[in-house]
Chains A and B, each alone.
Chain A
Amino acid sequence: MLEITGLHASVGGKEILRGVDLSVNAGEVHAIMGPNGSGKSTLAGILAGRPEYNVTGGTVRYLDQDLLELEPEDRARKGVFLAFQYPVEIPGVNNVYLLKAAFNELRKHRGEPELDAMDFMTLVRKQLQVLKMNAELLNRPVNDGFSGGEKKRNEIFQMAVLEPKLAILDETDSGLDIDALKMVANGVNALRHPERSMVIITHYQRLLNYIVPDFVHVLSNGRIVRSGDKDLALELEEKGYGWIEGVAAEVGA
């Protein structure tokens, strides 16, 4: 599904990613952990096509295409979804209006007819129930005046409606109380599917108590310095990121 090879990238002239290799197969859930500044969010941004990030080397293949060649909207239309670490507030744009526009763009791209407002609302209501979300959020402006938890739930809600092939969650768990965290985890678990892959970027091991990943990778100083199964996350929790920085120094040497 996703094949990242030797990815180097810089932001504002500063090198952030220094050779990331990652292979994600269909149906797999990968967790990427790492300390602040390790390059987690840069990696997520590059996969989604954030314009201010410069790829300076390496390749990213997605469903046998060069992902980096594609505009952000084309990536989305081909099934890439980024749950933003900081969802953007857009006053004046109705939440459900955006979602319907996005949903129908994706359908158009797949050669399917657009859903009318009635059918779309039926689908939206179903997902609201699954995620136990308040319907009132639908008619508010996108993320405007939402609490931190509401914003993150809204990202998961969008993901549930848009049904991506590759979902990238950028620190969706950060700053959530336990109820919101469980809701996010339930949403993610409900979407697990043999045809759908997920890359879950997180700073904390806590989320992985609720979403059991197939693989855990540790990113440090722009490289994946260790990969393993869910136990790696526990080890990391126990020993702290200081331990990993030591490992990173060794790898870098």
Chain B
Amino acid sequence: MTAATTPTPIPTPTLDAYQADFERVQAAAPAALQTLRQNAMGHFTRLGFPTTRMEEWRFTSVEPIARRPFALGGPADVTSDQIAPFLFPGLSDSRLVFVNGRYAPALSAIQALPPRVEVRNLAELLTGGLDGVESYLGRLAAFEDQPFSALNTAFLQDGALIRIGDDVVLDHPIHTLFVSTAPGSAVVTHPRMLVVVGRNSSVGLVESYAGVRDAPYFTNAVTELDVGENSVVDHCKILRESLEAYHVASLQIRLARSAVVTSHSITLGGALVRNDVGAVLAGDGAECTLNGLYVAGGRQLVDNHTTIDHVSPHCDSHELYKGILDGEAKAVFNGKIIVRLDAQKTDAKQSNKTLLLSERAQVNTKPQLEIFADDVKCTHGATVGQLDEDAMFYLRARGLSREQARRMLIHAFATDVLQRITREPIKPRLDTALLERLPAADQGSRSA
């Protein structure tokens, strides 16, 4: 990931809008943050928005984001009824809800937490100083060459802070829900999460994004997850943004020795979605699983870029990304695996499978292996296919209608990823959400 040599000028109205908002919030920002934010804003204005001339953005034009002067999201009324569809009954979670980027205590619920567990919103913390977060904030998600992360950091004011000490086992996952609502003008929010987990701990995280109105808005999220020695983190990102929303997100994970992280990324909404996931296997014997499922139709674009950096020996990584594309939807999968010189005995597996339901849907899939060690196992594979006609006929020959058979097969394709989500209350709810998003047969489908 090299910095762009030629800066891309940001359209003046867009830059003016960001600048004006930046100056406004910067003046009100806690002193502790001002330097970091100023620095980030500098990088953003220098870098500009990426263009399709850059390898990392070849198939994804962010022009619709660049040309629009989004206004910084402000307070808005969202009711508990409006967020109910995005919660998981039975999860008995601690829940942090953010509306247009700001913490909404009335919608949130933090359960009695065991000692050495801190779950709160960042804004509250930051008014009193940095309290140790400076060692993490902006460190995992470096922004010097990442314009969207720079932009997020420039506007860093609120978000979720989760700190878990050593030897903590949390039975129930912590749910963070970022809701956008845009009555009137198009707004941008910069959700931020910082999760720091100590040693020998175990925690589940559910990170949701949702839109409560079908309106254009822009979510620019950054999540940093630092996992200490021998800890286990089970993370699930669920994207149910409005179908007119732009969503750019970066999840950066660092795994210490023997840490185990599983992260699922489920994308069911958004007009333009870019998910960057980076994992650094920094200690011996760490294990990282990245799974993804994306369902897109119409003219949606879903771009998943993952980078797994094997720095230390004896680490495993597993990756399975599956996409279901209909209409004129486009998907991009780029899976980079770096195996450093010292990372002997690496075992890395990567797979991307796409189901195309229409002739006009398309996917660009690319594995990118950079291997410098010599005693490693790295496998990758990509498949692109349509619904299996033999299976369609088999199901119809048993009495199922074409539509039933089709849904059963599409669901079967997706279930492979969903089944790996072990948090029980999440799975059935996601299953329902998935079924709602599955394209109907008359939507530009192939005939069986």
**Interface residues, chain A, with chain B CB atoms under 8 Å away:** 48-51, 71-73, 75-77, 81-82, 84, 87-88, 90-93, 98-99, 101-102, 105-106, 109, 141-142, 158, 162
Contacts and interface: CB of A to CB of B under 8 A. Distances in A.
B336 interface: no
Interface in B380-396: 388-391, 393-396
Contact of B391 (A48, A71, A90): A90
B396 A71 contact: yes
Contacts of A75: 397
B341 interface: no
Contacts of A98: 395, 398, 400, 408
B413 interface: yes
B396 A76 contact: yes
Contact of B396 (A73, A90, A99): A73
Nearest to B412: A92
B415 interface: yes
Contacts of A93: 408-409, 412
Nearest to A84: B394
> What 6 A-B pairs have minimum CB-CB distances, sorted nearest first?
A92-B412, A76-B399, A102-B398, A105-B399, A88-B394, A72-B396
Given A73-B399, A105-B399, A142-B394, 11 more contacts: A49-B397, A51-B448, A71-B396, A82-B397, A90-B388, A91-B412, A93-B409, A98-B398, A105-B398, A109-B399, A158-B398
B416 A101 contact: no
Given A50-B393, A51-B448, A101-B408, A92 B398 contact: no
A71 B399 CA distance: 10
A102 B389 CA distance: 18
B399 A88 contact: no
26 contacts: A50-B393, A72-B393, A73-B402, A73-B405, A76-B397, A81-B397, A84-B397, A87-B394, A88-B388, A88-B390, A88-B391, A90-B394, A90-B395, A90-B412, A91-B416, A92-B409, A92-B413, A92-B415, A93-B409, A93-B412, A98-B395, A101-B404, A101-B408, A106-B399, A142-B394, A162-B398
B318 interface: no
B411 interface: yes
Contacts of A73: 396-397, 399-402, 405
Most chain A CB within 10 A, of B389, B391, B409, is at: B391
A48 B397 contact: yes
Nearest to A75: B397
Contacts of A71: 396, 402
Contacts of A91: 412, 416
Contacts of B399: 73, 76-77, 102, 105-106, 109, 162
A102 B400 CA distance: 6
Contacts of B397: 48-49, 72-73, 75-76, 81-82, 84
Contacts of A51: 389, 393, 448
Most chain A CB within 10 A, of B389, B408, B412, B448, is at: B412
A75 B394 CA distance: 13
Contacts of A87: 394
A88 B411 CA distance: 17
A76 B393 contact: no
Nearest to A83: B397
Nearest to A97: B408
Nearest to B416: A92
Contacts of B415: 92
A141 B399 CA distance: 18
Contacts of A82: 397
Nearest to A73: B396
A73 B395 CA distance: 8
Interface in B354-398: 388-391, 393-398
Contacts of B416: 91-92
Contacts of B396: 49, 71-73, 76
B391 A92 contact: no
